[in-house]
A and B are shown apart, each in its own frame.
Chain A
């Protein structure tokens, strides 16, 4: 049985011929499309390393079947920067030292982008920590991660305010 699945990945329309419906979005990205920025930690929804945006919402790509995503818009860490210009969340992670080994970082950054879009954290570090709890950092870089999310959120809000003015 072969399924034909249409996806937009980082703005590019792709048609995926799926010979096996067992493929998760994470395995599609890493094993078949060479987009290895998205990481596999636990493969069971317990770490957040595989976080990507699907139709603008952060989800765990390890627990999502490609077969059920026909028509979806997927954004990964590879699609975040604008050419050489880093996304504000990427810049803030560097600025605030939001990582050590970097393994959890693509997931942290995609999760932060989703969190800021959702708009439930306000400027409260406690809310940021709670809403980032789906991303485990083995190195314990949480202090920097929280600072980076708060900073990026501020930068993005200021930019939006300036654009509106």
Chain B
């Protein structure tokens, strides 16, 4: 790990001012940043510790029923907040399907949004990687790319965004609140992560020194509380990143879907909102045929970026499965294996 200066600002404006110096990075829990610093992928010369900034660790309910979540709220605290889990169950399920209990206890909301790709070549400083070193090439393109993107990729980068949390957030129209040297602004989560195009090194819409202050979920997103799921296919049951995942949320009135939301994870450099699929479901009955048609729309533009054509079919199936489970209803209690399409003891584990 390279040497760095450690700065502990007392408030947001001090933090933003400190981060404006070139080579600075914000430190939240450090579960992604420290890991990348140890392997030489991130080499900040100044760490700005944001763990003690006042006011960033609160979950605040808005008068209209929406919620504002401070950037330093820990992943586990949000997932286990009873009102949050009841109101936005797919988000809680996604959080609990990520990483491990230890990591969720530390990891923050802001850090989760900002986590970097798990592409192996990105993490290996001996490999060519446009995202890490612009213009150096992309070793994944003709390398080990089973788990890489199938939508929204370019010849310059085929990496995926690894967050589970961000997938239901994209489906539910979450908004990110930012504060930077130019003041405050907010942007839809859907526009926060960028597709690679010719500039994969520009991973998010965050400007230099901008700080994520909070995340908001609008009151309208609560209408899906009774029919919302997150499903995540992994190469082992737990403590693994998604191969493909899907967040599905339905509002069903008198046997007809009035509103639908669908987003897919681990198939692109951003959480993939499937608006055409959603539109195809509005007014339809919640049937296998309707869900299969919707999933078809969601992946209509998919094409393999390498050895990963199988992910297109898997993503289609996980989307159908998530929609079926959402239609069946949000479980009374969080499943023993959150977001898992498998259960080793069927039935027995659904009641805590």
Contact = CB atoms under 8 A, between A and B. Distances in A.
Interface of A: 1, 3, 20-22, 24, 43-45, 48, 51, 57-60, 63-65, 67-68, 70, 111, 114-115, 118, 120, 122, 124-127, 129-136
B344 A126 contact: yes
B348 A126 contact: yes
A127 B336 CA distance: 5
Contacts of B5: 1, 21
Nearest to B1: A22
Given A133-B239, A134-B99, A44 B38 contact: yes
B324 interface: no
Interface stretch (B27-35, B174-182, B200-208, B249-257): B27-35
Contact of A68 (B31, B51, B102, B238): B51
Given A127-B336, A134-B102, 12 more contacts: A20-B3, A21-B5, A22-B4, A48-B102, A57-B105, A63-B31, A63-B106, A64-B34, A65-B6, A68-B30, A70-B8, A120-B352
Contacts of A24: 34
A68 B49 contact: yes
Contacts, number: 110
A132 B336 CA distance: 12
A22 B345 CA distance: 44
B343 interface: yes
27 contacts: A20-B3, A21-B4, A44-B38, A51-B102, A57-B105, A58-B101, A58-B105, A59-B105, A60-B102, A63-B30, A63-B31, A63-B34, A65-B30, A65-B34, A67-B47, A68-B27, A68-B51, A70-B8, A114-B102, A115-B101, A120-B80, A122-B352, A124-B348, A130-B237, A130-B336, A130-B337, A134-B99
Contacts of A64: 29-30, 34, 106
B141 interface: no
Interface string B203-219: 00000000000000000
Contact of A126 (B3, B27, B99, B336): B336
A48 B100 contact: yes
Given A68-B30, A126-B343, A134 B103 contact: yes
B100 A133 contact: yes
Contacts of B62: none
Interface in B334-350: 336-338, 343-345, 348-349
Nearest to A58: B102
Contacts of B76: 118
A127 B337 CA distance: 7
B65 to A, nearest CB: 26
Contact of A45 (B8, B51, B103, B337): B103
Contacts of B239: 133-134, 136
B126 to A, nearest CB: 18
Nearest to A115: B101
Nearest to B5: A1
Interface string B1-31: 1011110100000000000000000010111
Interface string B313-352: 0000000000000000000000011100001110011001
A156 B207 CA distance: 50
B128 to A, nearest CB: 23
Given A64-B106, A126-B345, A126-B348, A114 B101 contact: yes
Nearest to A136: B239
Nearest to B31: A63
Given A122-B352, A134-B239, A63 B101 contact: no
Contacts of B352: 120, 122, 124, 127
A124 B352 CA distance: 7
Nearest to B35: A44
A126 B99 CA distance: 17
A24 B100 CA distance: 19
A22 B47 CA distance: 10
Nearest to B104: A134
A67 B102 contact: no
Interface centre among B1, B47, B105, B237 (most CB of A within 10 A): B105
Contacts of B103: 45, 59-60, 63, 134
Interface centre among A1, A20, A63, A136 (most CB of B within 10 A): A63
A109 B104 CA distance: 18
6 smallest CB-CB distances across A and B, nearest first, come from A134-B100, A133-B238, A21-B6, A126-B336, A126-B349, A133-B239
